[in-house]
Structure 1
Amino acid sequence: MAESGQQLPEEVLALIFRHLSLRDRGAAARVCRAWAAAATCSAVWHDTNISCDCEREGILIPYLSACLKHVHNLRLEFEPSKKPSRRAATELLTALVGRSPGLRSLCLECRGEKPLFDAGRDVLDAVHAICRAARQLHHLDLRRLPFTLDDELVLQVARGCPELRSLFLNNSTLVGSVGPGSVLELLEACPCLRALGLPLASLSYTALEALTAPHRAPFALLALRCACPEDARAPPLPDDAWAALRRRHPGLSVELELEPALPAESVRRILQPAVPVAALRLCLSADTVGPLEFAAQHYAATLRVLEVRAAASAELDAALELLAARCAGLREVHCFCVVRPSVLQAFRAHCPHLRSYTLKLTREPHPWRPMLVA
């Protein structure tokens, strides 16, 4: 510990300041020159989380201006229905353009509800501008952005971010506007891409073929969201295409998220035995028991995460017990309805790698918290 009157080294101050909120960093920067230098150095800003709801209005852009060049990884939260929060987020994204050439990762998260008939043009225009300027961008995560993402954005990413490693576009909108052609252009322009999140209808046989090209980096994750009418109508991709993809990338994991808008016949078409499903999230208005029995039969070797939102029933409990007995590699199970005690016993007995679970035996107030396994 520094003696009275002795200044802590800048690197020590930086380690402290990196854990402070923007407001507190700004206050620290006004104490003295030494603190100002430490509060604006690259070590403090390399990985930055900003909530536009928590910070004092007006502090974002003035204080950040001198620090944006040091931001490499940014996670930005805002609430689109609150004008000050949205304005601060848009201004910050706009300010990043040209001031943060070293930006490597951008994750946008929206909280609350978005206004009706809101296309998010202001936010999306700022994302477009960043993709034009951030040539070294490696990671772009827009799955928590409640606006329709389209071909124009995907093509801008393809043109502007050749070093991209991961891109997540599988957000919660019910309109599919990303076509297979733009995804194919993205894959051809970004040979280092290793993780991709898409609506199911955006994926094509040609895209799977492109992923098997010999010059590509190892591909690790394909996250598919199935929620809109286009997804329900999408034809199944051939088993031989999935088999070729698994041979080329033996470490590939697929995440499937099935939403209530899907009719039962579409669910049966989407669940294919050849797909290496590692995470299955079911929130269906129709039958849930059938998909669980299918997963128990075909995904026993690959399934690691299961999430179920359905009405409680004896049939559902029986399907969960069957899945527990066959899918010994499960690490997480989250069921958002009350289950009988034998379901909990089955997962604890048959799944030795289980790390957390949400299996409630009695109804509790929401939100339900998962139980961590020691």
Structure 2
Amino acid sequence: MLASTERVFHLARYGSRQIIANAMRSMASGSQSPPPADDALIIQKFDGKRMITLNRPKQLNALNLQMIRDLYPHLQKWESNPDVKMVIVKGAGGKAFCAGGDVLAVVKSAKTKGSTVHNDFFREEYKLNYLIGTYELPYVAIIDGITMGGGCGLSVHGKFRVATERTMLAMPETALGLFPDVGGSYFLPRLAGKLGMFLALTGYRLKGADVLHAGIATHFVSSEKLGAMESALISMPAEKINESQIDRLLGDFQRQSPTLPSFSLEPHLDQINSIFDGSTVEEIVDKLKADGSDWARKQLTLLEKMSPTSLQVTFRQLTQGARLSFKDVFTMEYRLTQRFVEDNDFFEGCRAILVDKDNKPQWNPRTLDGVSEEKLGWYFSPLPEGQDLVLSPRAGAKLRSSV
């Protein structure tokens, strides 16, 4: 769940001006009228379909707790309604699908006596992520624009994820003193080779077709085709809607789009698979130093800016997540969230990047070897009795995502 309330911190810190400009172009409006400006979540009903528009454009459609609480029962209701055959989700405003979760509200809650938002937000967000990942209806996420943290949780676990040339997807939580959550423990280690570990530790931005090449998007459609694609999805006869038909329709629009650009990371995949296959974060750092290439030095510089605690937690998170079920990763991730709001670095990252904006976080500890095994063990240990998030298996449901 990446921070994003007033601004997305990494646009200034990580993004080039051209990438930002591309991400901020107007999205295709589709065939429907713009949603009301005062509703954070817009629901539109069509014959056999439901379209969700995340409508906080000034906040880059960042998720808040109320949006999660509104969305969850809608998805539950539609799944049990035989008249609903497909769900489509997109973002409003022309800049983002969803730039993350409202972490400033979480930080404020954790420092306010009697507030439970820092407990409730993560708990309810993860229940929503699990529902999407096991959803029985076809779920189509149009990830046009900025898609980070919580936005990945709303899209990656669904059956269909449509990227465009304007998509910018990342999980850069280690720069904020946090970790790549919302099911990142599950989908990141299941990407090809060591790509997931690379993305998780460095916060690398996947742009446009890169999201498809990485195996996160299922389709790539030119942004100029989105309006027609949405209309075609909405116009599908309800009685003919199934996953094969949707896949065929999205594939047709992908073929109508310009030639798919090559994977920008292709020249470095061998390095990624070798270097990020280390048995510890320290070994990865040593391998980057030994490699000596310009690319390796750039990654090393990035890692040196990240929270050492976040790097160590993230490495263990992905290592364990590779062996856990989709359901059980959320128990682990919820424990981690509650430990992070008890510790130092998450607050310091928010202060430096979102509040004071000096971009000079003072991590504690400052080095990787300063993060003790005892401290790491505490992060992953069970919460006090009755506080763990334990999800119940969903009867008849199966994991829908192909990631």
TM-score range, shorter chain: under 0.3
Greater relative CO (CA pairs within 8 A, separation 6+):
2
Q: Which has the higher strand share?
A: 1
Higher CA-based Rg: 1
Q: Which has the higher helix share?
A: 2
